[in-house]
Amino acid sequence: MKEIELTCKLGKELSEDEIRAAAIKALGASPREKVNWCLLRRSIDARTDVIYRYRIQVARASESLPQYHIPEYKDVSSAEPVIVVGSGPAGMFASLRLLMEGLKPVILERGRDVHKRKVDTALLSTKGIVNPDSNYCFGEGGAGTFSDGKLYTRSSKRGDIREVLHQLVSFGADPSILLDAHPHIGSDRLPVIVEKIRECIIQHGGEYHFDCRVTDISTLSDGNLRVSAESSLPGAGPTFFEARNVILATGHSARDIYEMFTRKGWELQAKGFALGVRVEHPQSLINKVRYHGKYQPFMPAAEYSFVTQVEGRGVFSFCMCPGGLLVPSSTAPGELVLNGMSNSGRNSKWANSGVVVSVEPEDLPEYSQHGPLALLRFQQDVERKMFEYTGSLKAPAQRMMDFCRRVPSENLPATSYHPGAVPAPLYDLLPENVALRLKLAFPQVGNKLIKGYYTNDALLLGVESRTSSPVRIPRDPDTLEHVRVPGLYPCGEGAGYSGGIVSSALDGIACAQKIAARQ
Ligand SMILES: Cc1cc2nc3c(=O)[nH]c(=O)nc-3n(C[C@H](O)[C@H](O)[C@H](O)COP(=O)(O)OP(=O)(O)OC[C@H]3O[C@@H](n4cnc5c(N)ncnc54)[C@H](O)[C@@H]3O)c2cc1C
């Protein structure tokens, strides 16, 4: 068995004859001998010509190639329940893993199902109405549902990524995600996949409870945990659930969960995160730069990413959405946060990305009185300041070069951000340490990393502040339980153990496996 690499021009597929000939050559086989092959990876290389680079595993016919099979889901109708708080990637993939382990997931989700959620996100974008339980972060499928659906992660050590990708394909994602180096699904396809995951969980005996916001967790004398939840429906009283194990996967925007921990005196830790702006360029400019002027309409919208250091802190691009749209991802009235998403075709006129600066607890001595919630309070203050400037979900915005020169933008280019943008002294609205580093970083990126990036055709909009959780819920590294509360598994991005769809899904799987191993 060997791995080989083949290339072909973008827009062409490798033919079976080409692969067979290369396999025969690599294996030293005779021209008529049968060979097996399996495509492992496909990436775009635009360094000289624009080509696909394929990694292919090849073997003689007598050797079989390793294949991945999704473990079977069991009927868990009468199995031991495990409460899963949150139906984001961490909660969904934890639940699927619980089915495989013969345990019954009982999912409590503060938001609404994916169809009703679409209505709420539309109201948010068009009318500025924020439903605090159903928005771009909260609701079925979590923050990943209306996203770009990028599926890459650097965290291959966290678990078997194949489990996540193969399950996504089994629920309707395009099989190309198994092959592409930078796979993505898109906001038009994700809701259907999320719905199919729910159907699978219910069919196998699991439960979903929507409009079920967890407000308290308490320990009982018999070792069980009691979870209290509230509904936003008028007149609905509290509901109570009990189980020995609870997976808490509420995401980085569930500030009320951190407040609950504080109230109860349960341990939390302040955690560094990153904050900055959303940057929007014309996609045509990014295509031109990244494909070195060789872009053709059949090629995928070009991506970029960069990391640089400015004045001792990382400045980096975050969650880049080629051919994407900017959306308001506020979770409460009076705050303004932007994020990016895209459809599967990635065919809008814009390329957007967060460009953010790392913020560490020691950078904010003035917030130290808030203890573990110091960075969360800082994040909240910046989001409120942005909202107060425009008094609505319109985003304060400045052209890139104007921002760096600290001069006002007289007018703004068109933007994909539906609520709209308002010319503003964005530099002065951002915390000084963040604004200064961004000002130094943009020309540097344009000069050294992405030629053409530093331009006044690029628009900066405030604020990108939900890059990861500013709080960690500490857990035992071996059992994954909270350091004080046995049976409680802080999980996913909100607990501070993942960032992005795939790594959150992997963390969910890891928590479910720990629970199963103790049965
Ligand atoms: C617009 C947007 C685009 C994004 N694009 C990408 C991308 O392309 N690729 C990528 O990898 N990542 C992307 N992300 C980030 C990604 O979505 C998150 O990293 C991921 O969803 C985190 O998974 P999670 O399950 O830990 O938490 P979440 O997805 O945040 O899920 C938490 C869930 O818990 C629920 N919840 C919260 N509080 C309570 C409560 N008290 N009671 C009951 N339920 C509660 C919420 O409603 C939510 O459903 C994007 C995020 C956004 C907002």
List pLDDT tens digits, range 231-290.
988 888 899 999 999 999 999 999 999 999 999 999 999 999 999 999 999 999 999 999
* Tokens 């990708």 sit on residue: 165
Cβ atoms of residues 30 and 60 within 8 Å: no
How far does residue 421's CA lie from ligand 1's centre (Å)?
25
| Ligand 1 contact via 143 beta carbon (within 6 Å) | yes
Number of domains in the chain: 3
* Assigned token pair, 167: 């399950």
Q: Does the C-beta of 504 come closer than 6 Å to ligand 1?
A: yes
Identify whether residues 238 and 106 lie together within a single domain: yes
pLDDT in tens, 163-190: 999 999 999 999 999 999 999 999 999 9
SS3 444: helix
The mean per-residue pLDDT over the stretch 389-394 comes to 97
Asked if residue 154 has pLDDT above 70, the reply is: no
pLDDT reading at 197 higher than 90: yes
Return d(Cα 44, Cα 84) in angstroms, integer.
39
Could you tell me the pLDDT band of residue 155, with boundaries at 50, 70 and 90? low
Ligand 1 in reach of 500 Cβ (< 6 A): yes
Q: Distance (Å, rounded) from C-alpha 14 to C-alpha 18?
A: 7
What does residue 334 show for φ and ψ, rounded to 5 degrees?
Answer: 85, 5
144: pLDDT strictly greater than 90? no
Q: What is the pLDDT of residue 390?
A: 97
Q: Answer for the pair 326, 134: CB distance below 8 angstroms, yes or no.
A: no
Rounded to the nearest whole angstrom, what is the distance from the C-alpha of residue 143 to the centroid of ligand 1?
3
Label each residue of 181-221 as H, E or C: CCCECCCCCHHHHHHHHHHHHHHCCCEEECCCEEEEEEECC
Give me the residue label for tokens 């913020």: 359
Residue type, 85: V
Domain end, chosen from 60, 93, 110, is at 60
| Cα of 144 from ligand 1 centre, angstroms | 5
Same domain, 434 and 285: yes
pLDDT of residue 233: 84
**From 83, 92, 108, 110, mutation site for ligand 1 pocket: most ligand atoms within 8 A of C-beta:** 110
In a domain, 69, yes or no: no
Q: What is the CATH number of the domain that holds 42?
A: 3.30.70.2700
* Confidence grade of residue 11 (pLDDT, cut at 50, 70, 90): confident
User: Measuring from atom 3 of ligand 1, which residue has the nearest CA?
Assistant: 147
Spatial contact of 179 and 13, defined as CB atoms under 8 Å apart: no
- Structural contact between residues 102 and 206, judged by C-beta atoms closer than 8 angstroms: no
Name the residue with the closest Cα to ligand 1, atom 52. 143
* The predicted structure's pLDDT at residue 484: 95
With the most atoms of ligand 1 within 8 angstroms of its CB, the residue from 136, 241, 319 to mutate is 319
Distances (CA, A) of 413 to 41, 227, 283, 301: 38, 49, 13, 20
Which amino acid residue places its CA nearest to atom 41 of ligand 1?
214
User: Residue written as tokens 């405030």?
Assistant: 462
Amino acid at 307: V
Is the separation of the CB atoms in 57 and 1 below 8 Å?
yes
Q: Are 56 and 5 in contact (CB under 8 A)?
A: yes
Query: Ligand 1 centre from 295 Cα, in Å?
Result: 34
142 lines ligand 1 (CB under 6 A): yes
| Domain's final residue, options 422, 447, 464 | 464
75 occurs within a structural domain: no
Q: Tell me if 303 sits within 8 A of 290, measured CB to CB.
A: yes
* CB-CB contact of 315 with 309 (8 Å): yes
What mean pLDDT value characterizes the chain?
A: 95
Q: Is the pLDDT of residue 304 over 80?
A: yes
If pLDDT is split at 50, 70 and 90, which confidence band does 48 have?
confident
Residue 417 is part of which domain span? 270-464
Please check whether residue 293 lies inside any domain of the structure: yes
List the single range of 43-52, 78-87, 400-409 with lowest mean pLDDT: 43-52
